[in-house]
Structure 1
Amino acid sequence: MKLAFDRGRRTRAATWVSLGLTFAVALVVELTFADSSKADSPLDSKGDQGNSQVERGRYLARAGNCVSCHTSPGGPAFAGGLALNTPFGKLYSTNITPDPETGIGKWTEEQFARAVREGVRPDGAHLYPAFPYTAYTKLSDEDVSALFAYMKVVKPVSFTPPENEMGFPANQRWALGMWKMLFFDEGRFLADSSQSEEWNRGAYLVEGLGHCSACHSPRNFMGAEQASMAMTGGEYTDKVPSGEIRTWSAPNLTDVPNGLGSWPMEEVAAYLRTGRNGFTETHGPMNEVILNSTRHLSEGDVRAMAVYLKSLPGNVGNIGKAASAQVIEDGETLYNVNCGTCHQPTGLGALSEQAGAKLVGNPLVQASNPASLINVILYGPHLAKLPGPKRWKDMPEFGSKLSDDEVAAIASYVRSAWGNVGGAVTQEQVAKQR
């Protein structure tokens, strides 16, 4: 049945679709691939570095990875100006140093708490959910107070980020109020009495400060996280190693074969703590999460996060259709010629500088959207400079060597071989990532 809309209804529908898409892509910050972590802002000379509340706030700011989003490439920590690219223009992160004119120096703790947990500025305007108040709403009063204490004594920076470059209707902040009515549940984290203290700590960090679901959950057409598909993988835009902005995909974090099913809890913790484990090494957009946030957390907190993640109910998510037998056959041949020497014909790789990482059970390889896998094949992985010895041989880029259909065939093969359950990759998907 064909539905007829009057002009007003069509306009409202188009407005909501545009806003929804804008919010969806604006929920994830464009991260610059740094070879080293961004430094915390030094404490102002008047700040008390021995103050336990300030130090707690510093720790919490690291847990929330605040510096990555509120620092522009090469700019002062927390001074803002990082660009968030969306199909409707750009948003820029704000200055959250205590500068009284361009930062939050005149804010009260109550105003700070409302911004963090409700997404409302002191002037009453709604904040775009690029700032993850949808997760930070779970923070306790004590943690918000400690964060405020820390942000008030970091070095103030007089800097006004560029104005947002958003077209209509995305530039209408009033519409965010209606979006919140539909999709935002304001409220603190409530511990589950049936779970352990460690599990609850992990849930608080993953669902609150860590805001992991912002990247690792798919969203509806209005840009809200789909609760029924939580942590099954999401999409965002970011730079590839050559500098262009492309789609990336965050993998499934639930306990299934295409998620964290094959990773023991200790391996999950090792990855968060060091950026490496027996399966993979951090690269691309995850670099700054490891370098600026999780590697600074206590062993207890990292373990708690791993315990919670491993408890997530399994959900394979949207796998997609399987590739044809002919594509798999072609992909296997191309894989053995171009990839098999390092990753092994078995896909198991090896812990050797002359070998590649493990592809069997790899969450990124099997992500619902193959964008990240395609990016790695085309451009090579952008590895972080982690402490400790290298575990695997550096992977070159294959974009200049392989055609779109060849990359699609290899990707389709590794997503379905050795018990992997990823769907087919098309030539068009590869062309988009180029």
Structure 2
Amino acid sequence: MKWIKRIALGLVAVIVLLVAVVFGVSESRMRRTYDVATVSPLNVTKDPAQIARGEHLATAVAKCTDCHTADLGGKVFIEPGPMGTVSASNLTAGKGGILARYTDAQLETAIRHGVRTDGRGLVIMPSDEYQYLGDADVAAIIAYLRTIPPVDRELPKTKLGPIGRGLVTFGAPLIPAARIDHGKPPASRASVPPVGPTREYGEYLVSVGGCRGCHGPDLAGAPGHAPGEPASANITPAGPMGRWSEADFTRVLRTGTRPDGSKLLDFMPWRSMARHTDDELHAIWLYLKTVPPVQSAARS
């Protein structure tokens, strides 16, 4: 009995120590602040063409509406539980919204760097991809945000629970600001290809549209970011999609239905992808056909 008690006490001590380590490490990482280098002001003109471009980027390319809802009033992205509570912010100027409190420069910092006005990193903000957005496209998104109707929607603050803190402690990519070089912009940002049905523009759309964030840096598929989130597909030529025609590819993204009749999971933002123009989908197709084929077990 004495040995059983000693083992039990030892296990309790280990658990208490582990909890303390997880809390301490996660708290340090969540409280970390980031210094973002000053950049030249964006040319936010708010002319009709810029606003229209921003709307297309926000709804189709960057897919802001997938998390922040169609009216950009935000929602509870992850419901309260062991993971914690994660809210996608109200991006409007309504009650509970952030727009009136953010300058254009602060919006650019949040979009490209995943950094809040207090210098801390945003949680589950895909700035890993948005850092590659060109100046004109970021300016267009901001111009569009400045024109959307205010939405009165107050949301609970994001607060990670034990599982969320554990994921942060052990390296899950929940705080993208920790992986971004805030002092030096990506070289590719300075050479954004012109809009058009080209392989180069397709690569840009894949880079800023979150494809690598889900499908992995090599696009060969990756595990889900959080408990319950399925693994993503291998979308290189070595995956099942490599056997599709361009017509198949376009039909899948327009309808959410694969050539074999099966449906894409809702984790795949095909409804936003469906808003791409024909030229944009053709550009993405051209790029995906040229990426190196990688063998993996990921399903299409």
TM beyond 0.5: yes
DSSP 3-state at the match of 2:224: strand
| 1:169 Cα offset (Å) | 9.4
The answer as to 2:224 corresponding to 1:236 is yes
DSSP 3-state at the match of 2:223: strand
Counterpart of 1:200?
200
Superposition pairs of residues 10-159 of structure 1, within 5 angstroms: 15=22, 51-62=48-59, 63-71=61-69, 77-84=71-78, 88-99=83-94, 102-128=97-123, 130-159=124-153
The answer as to 2:273 corresponding to 1:294 is yes
| 1:154 Cα offset (Å) | 0.7
Superposition pairs of residues 25-424 of structure 1, within 5 angstroms: 51-62=48-59, 63-71=61-69, 77-84=71-78, 88-99=83-94, 102-128=97-123, 130-167=124-161, 183-185=179-181, 187-188=185-186, 189=188, 198-208=198-208, 210-217=209-216, 227=217, 230-236=218-224, 246-256=228-238, 258-276=239-257, 278-280=259-261, 282-286=263-267, 289-291=269-271, 293-317=272-296, 363-364=299-300
- State the identity %: 24
| 1:304 Cα offset (Å) | 0.5
CA contact (8 A) 2:86 2:158 kept: yes
Mapped to 1, the partners of 2:241 and 2:142 lie a distance apart of 35
Mapped to 2, the partners of 1:148 and 1:180 lie a distance apart of 20
Mapped to 2, the partners of 1:17 and 1:124 lie a distance apart of 19
| 1:87 Cα offset (Å) | 5.0
Sort the Cα spacing of 1:278 and 1:161 in 2 relative to 1 into closer, same or farther, 3 A. Answer: same
Q: Which ranges of structure 1 fall in alignment gaps of 5 or more residues?
A: 1-6, 24-48, 218-226, 239-244, 320-362, 365-434
Q: Which amino acid aligns with 2:274?
A: R
CA contact (8 A) 1:83 1:91 kept: yes
Sort the Cα spacing of 1:18 and 1:81 in 2 relative to 1 into closer, same or farther, 3 A. Answer: farther
CA contact (8 A) 1:105 1:152 kept: no
Q: Which ranges of structure 2 fall in alignment gaps of 5 or more residues?
A: 1-13, 31-45
Counterpart of 2:43?
none
Mapped to 2, the partners of 1:269 and 1:13 lie a distance apart of 50
DSSP 3-state at the match of 1:234: coil
Mapped to 2, the partners of 1:13 and 1:165 lie a distance apart of 17
CA contact (8 A) 1:198 1:307 kept: yes
Greater share of residues in helix: 2
DSSP 3-state at the match of 2:242: coil
| 1:151 Cα offset (Å) | 0.8
CA contact (8 A) 2:114 2:121 kept: yes
Mapped to 2, the partners of 1:81 and 1:192 lie a distance apart of 32
TM superposition score normalised by structure 2 = 0.71
Mapped to 2, the partners of 1:81 and 1:160 lie a distance apart of 9
Task: Give the paired residue count.
Answer: 257
Structure number with the bigger relative contact order (C-alpha 8 A, sep ≥ 6) is 2
Mapped to 2, the partners of 1:13 and 1:151 lie a distance apart of 41
| 1:262 Cα offset (Å) | 1.0
DSSP 3-state at the match of 1:90: strand
Based on CA coordinates, which of the two structures has the bigger radius of gyration?
1
Mapped to 1, the partners of 2:229 and 2:97 lie a distance apart of 32
